Amino acid sequence: MTSTHTEHTGHDHHHGDACGHTAFQHGDHTDFAHDGHLHREHSGHYDECEPSGHVVCSGHDHEHGDGCGHVAVRHGDHVDYVHDGHRHAAHAGHYDDH
């Protein structure tokens, strides 16, 4: 699947091991939770790691919530849970792959 390429312009911070932002594995790359945005490095700049379209995570029998054991990161107006290298967001009774 192709993801949209949205460069975060004017990003003068370099994410890394000790930068203080929550880092987590997202598929084949690392995302950093940065002020409600999720940033991934790309060719020397940072992209907004945004989902392309609506992808329902099927067969999800786990309920994410406080204390569920997964890392929760704020993503705009909702929360994503880091789940086995995916980001899951609650949506209308199911979870989306974000």
**Least CB distance to Zn ion at residue 5 (A):** 12
Minimum Å gap between C-beta 88 and Zn ion is: 3
State the residues that interact with Zn ion by CB under 5 A: 15, 19, 21, 26, 31, 34, 39-40, 49, 64, 68, 70, 75, 80, 83, 88-89, 91, 96, 98
Residue closer to Zn ion (CB basis): 45 or 91 = 91
**Residue 45 CB, nearest distance to Zn ion (Å)?**
10
Identity of the residue, 58 or 96, whose beta carbon is nearer to Zn ion in the bound complex:
96
Dump the DSSP string for the chain: -----EE-TT------TTSSSEEEEETTEEEEEETTEEEEEETTEEEE----S--EETT------TTSSSEEEEETTEEEEEETTEEEEEETTEEEE-
